C-alpha cells in the first residue's frame, strides 16, 4: 500500500514533502488503531478525527486537515470513494492576504545589516518570488543584460521570467564578487560538499526576513510570502494589468490573482473614509 501511495503521488507531480506529510499523519492513525486506515469503519475514523479536532488549539487545525487530505489520497490510491470512510469536507478559510506598505519595504531594505539579507528581501519582494524559488536561483538564471530573472520549475513545475530591478542587479553583482557562490546564488553551510544540498536553507530565509522586520520595528507578523503578496498588490496599485500580474506570479488561474484586488488601494476601490468628511464639514473651526 505504501509503495502504491508513493508511486501515485509521484506520478501526479506532488512533491516529496507532500508525500512525507501525508504518510506521517496516516502512520500516526495506523499506530493508534493497530491497522491500516482502509480496514477501519467510518465511525472509528470520525471518532479519531473528532479527537484531533478537539486536541488542536490552532485556528487552522492543520493536523486535522492534513490527516483528512492524506486519507483522501489513500482512498484514491486504493480505488475507493471518499464515502467509503465518510470523510468530511474541508472548508477553505477565506482570508485576505496581509501586505506591507512601500514604506515598510524600504525600512526592511535599508535596515538589513547584511547584503545577503537585503538581496533576499529585494528578490522576494522585487520579483514576487516564493521562498522555494529564491532558494533555487542559480547563477545561470540571472540575465543582467536583459534585466530578467528566469524562475525555473517554480510551483507546479512551471517556468517564468520576471524583471530584475537595476538596484538588485548592482547588489547581486557585488554579492557574487565577494561571496563567490559556485552554483546557487544563496548557498548554505553545505556548500561544496558532495551529496548535500548546497542551497541556503528554508529556515535560514524565513529567519532572515523575520529578524530584519523585527529589527526595524514592524509590528506585523512578517513572513516570506507576505513580500510576494506585497509585490502583487503594489503592481496592481501601479495600474499593471491583472493578467500581466498573474503571469509574473506564475498563477495558473486568474481567480487566484484576483484576491489582491480586495487589498490594493486604488481610487475606485477605496475612494475615502466617510470619517474624513465628518471632520471636514462638522468640526468647529480650528478645534
Q: Which residues are identified as catalytic?
A: 130, 155, 225, 228, 251, 260
- Residue 107, number of CB atoms within 10 A of its CB: 18
- Residue 4, number of CB atoms within 10 A of its CB: 12
**d(C-alpha 54, C-alpha 6), whole Å:** 30
Distances (CA, A) of 94 to 3, 61, 130, 259: 36, 15, 21, 10
What are the backbone angles phi and psi of residue 148, rounded to the nearest 5°?
-135, 150
Report residue 59 as a C-alpha cell: 485556528
**Residue 226 half-sphere exposure, CB side, CA atoms within 13 Å?**
17
Amino acid at each position: 500500500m505504501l509503495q502504491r501511495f508513493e508511486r501515485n503521488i509521484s506520478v501526479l507531480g506532488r512533491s516529496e514533502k507532500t508525500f512525507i506529510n501525508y504518510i506521517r499523519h496516516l502512520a500516526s492513525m495506523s499506530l493508534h488503531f493497530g491497522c491500516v486506515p482502509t480496514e477501519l469503519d467510518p465511525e472509528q475514523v470520525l471518532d479519531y478525527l473528532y479527537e484531533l479536532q478537539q486536541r488542536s488549539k490552532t485556528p487552522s487545525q492543520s493536523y486535522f486537515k492534513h490527516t483528512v487530505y492524506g486519507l483522501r489520497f489513500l482512498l484514491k490510491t486504493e480505488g475507493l470513494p471518499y464515502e467509503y470512510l465518510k470523510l468530511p469536507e474541508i472548508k477553505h478559510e477565506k482570508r485576505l492576504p496581509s501586505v506591507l506598505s512601500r514604506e515598510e519595504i524600504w525600512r526592511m531594505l535599508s535596515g538589513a545589516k547584511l547584503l545577503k539579507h537585503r538581496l533576499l528581501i529585494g528578490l522576494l519582494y522585487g520579483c514576487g518570488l516564493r521562498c522555494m524559488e529564491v532558494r533555487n536561483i542559480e547563477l545561470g538564471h540571472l540575465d543582467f543584460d536583459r534585466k530578467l530573472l528566469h524562475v525555473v520549475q517554480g510551483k507546479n513545475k512551471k517556468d517564468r521570467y520576471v524583471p530584475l530591478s537595476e538596484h538588485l542587479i548592482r547588489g547581486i553583482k557585488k554579492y557574487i564578487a565577494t561571496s563567490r557562490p559556485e552554483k546557487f546564488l544563496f548557498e548554505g553551510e553545505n556548500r561544496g560538499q558532495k551529496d548535500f544540498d548546497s542551497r541556503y536553507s528554508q529556515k535560514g530565509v524565513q529567519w532572515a526576513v523575520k529578524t530584519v522586520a523585527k529589527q526595524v520595528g514592524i509590528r506585523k507578523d512578517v513572513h516570506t510570502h507576505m513580500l510576494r503578496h506585497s509585490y502583487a498588490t503594489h503592481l496592481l496599485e501601479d495600474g499593471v494589468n491583472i493578467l500581466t500580474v498573474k503571469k509574473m506570479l506564475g498563477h495558473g488561474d486568474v481567480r487566484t490573482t484576483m484576491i489582491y484586488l480586495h487589498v490594493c488601494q486604488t481610487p475606485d476601490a477605496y475612494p475615502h473614509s466617510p470619517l474624513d468628511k465628518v471632520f471636514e464639514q462638522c468640526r468647529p473651526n480650528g478645534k
